[in-house]
Structure 1
Amino acid sequence: MRIGYLTYGLDRYPTGIGRYATELLKGFYALPESPDIVLLTTEQEDKAGLWNHFEHYPLTGCRLLPALMAIGNLALSRASLKYKLDLIHDPNGIAPFFGHAAGVARVVTIHDAFTYIYPEKHNWLDNWRYKYYFPHTARKADAVITVSNCSKQDIIRYLKLDPDKVFVIPEGVGADFIAQPEGKKRRQILERYGIKKPYLLYVGAINGRKNLEGLLSAYALLLLRYPDLNLTIVGKRQWKTGGVETALQRLKLENRINFTGYIEDGHLPDIYSAAEVFVFPSLYEGFGLPPLEAMSCGVPVVTSNVGSLPEVVGSAGLMVDPYDVPSLVDAIEKAMIDSELKARLIKKGFERVAGFTWENAAAKTFEVYRKLSKI
Structure 2
Amino acid sequence: MNIGFDAKRAYHNNTGLGVFSRVLINLLAEHFPQNNYYLFNPKPGKSFHPVQKNMHEVLPTASLHKLLRSFWRSRWITKDLVKYKLDLYHGLSHEIPVGIAKTGIPSIVTIHDLFPELYPHQYKPIDTKIYRAKSRYACTHATRIMAISEETKSHIIRIYGIPAEKISVIYQSCPPAFGVLETEERKAAVRQQYNLPAQFFLHVGTIIERKNLLNICKALQLIRSEIPVPLIVVGNDGGFKEKVKAYLKEADLEDRVIFLSEQLALAGKKPFIAAEDLPALYQSATAMIYPSYFEGFGIPIVEAMSGGVPVITSNTSCLPEIAGNAGWLVNPDAPEEMAAGFRKIYTDTAFAEGMRQKGFENAKRFLPEVFVNDVMDLYLSVL
Pick the structure with more helix per residue: 2
SS of structure 2 residue aligned to 1:206: coil
CA distance in 2, matches of 1:57, 1:233: 37
Is this contact kept in 2: 1:233–1:260, CA < 8 A?
Answer: yes
SS of structure 1 residue aligned to 2:273: coil
Q: Which has the higher contact order (CA 8 A, sep 6+)?
A: 1
Task: Report which stretch shifted further, 24-33 or 305-314.
Answer: 24-33
Residue pairs, 1:1-375, within 5 angstroms: 1-12=1-12, 14-31=14-31, 35-45=35-45, 47-50=47-50, 52-53=52-53, 54-59=55-60, 68=70, 70-97=71-98, 101-124=102-125, 126-177=127-178, 178-183=180-185, 185-226=186-227, 228-241=228-241, 243-261=243-261, 262-373=272-383
Task: Report which stretch shifted further, 33-42 or 3-12.
Answer: 33-42
CA distance in 2, matches of 1:63, 1:162: 38
Deviation digits for residues 172-203 of structure 1 (CA, Å, limit 9, x no counterpart):
232211332222x3333223323223211011
Change (3 A) 1:245 1:101: farther
SS of structure 1 residue aligned to 2:89: strand
CA distance in 1, matches of 2:59, 2:251: 49
Instruction: Give the superposition deviation at 1:52.
Output: 4.2
Instruction: Give the superposition deviation at 1:240.
Output: 4.8
Instruction: Give the superposition deviation at 1:281.
Output: 0.6
SS of structure 2 residue aligned to 1:341: helix
CA distance in 2, matches of 1:34, 1:352: 31
Percent pairwise identity: 27
Instruction: Give the superposition deviation at 1:48.
Output: 2.4
Instruction: Give the superposition deviation at 1:137.
Output: 3.7
Is this contact kept in 2: 1:73–1:99, CA < 8 A?
Answer: no
The number of aligned residues is 369
Instruction: Give the superposition deviation at 1:17.
Output: 1.3
Deviation digits for residues 153-182 of structure 1 (CA, Å, limit 9, x no counterpart):
012222222222111110123221133222
Change (3 A) 1:306 1:214: same
Is this contact kept in 1: 2:12–2:45, CA < 8 A?
Answer: no
Structure 2 counterpart of 1:140, one-letter code: H
Structure 1 counterpart of 2:22, one-letter code: T
Task: Report which stretch shifted further, 305-314 or 90-99.
Answer: 90-99
CA distance in 2, matches of 1:62, 1:17: 24
CA distance in 2, matches of 1:6, 1:173: 19
Task: Report which stretch shifted further, 257-266 or 275-284.
Answer: 257-266
Using structure 1 for the length normalisation, give the TM-score. 0.90
SS of structure 1 residue aligned to 2:176: coil
SS of structure 2 residue aligned to 1:353: helix
Is this contact kept in 2: 1:9–1:43, CA < 8 A?
Answer: no
Change (3 A) 1:134 1:243: farther
Q: Please provide the CA RMSD for this pair.
A: 2.5
Is this contact kept in 2: 1:233–1:259, CA < 8 A?
Answer: yes
Change (3 A) 1:59 1:254: farther
Change (3 A) 1:244 1:128: farther
- Structure 1 unpaired stretches of 5+: none
Is this contact kept in 1: 2:9–2:17, CA < 8 A?
Answer: no
Instruction: Give the superposition deviation at 1:125.
Output: 5.4
CA distance in 1, matches of 2:282, 2:125: 33
Is this contact kept in 2: 1:294–1:300, CA < 8 A?
Answer: yes
Is this contact kept in 2: 1:25–1:362, CA < 8 A?
Answer: no
CA distance in 2, matches of 1:254, 1:115: 33
Instruction: Give the superposition deviation at 1:239.
Output: 4.1
CA distance in 2, matches of 1:244, 1:116: 27
SS of structure 1 residue aligned to 2:253: coil
Change (3 A) 1:212 1:157: same
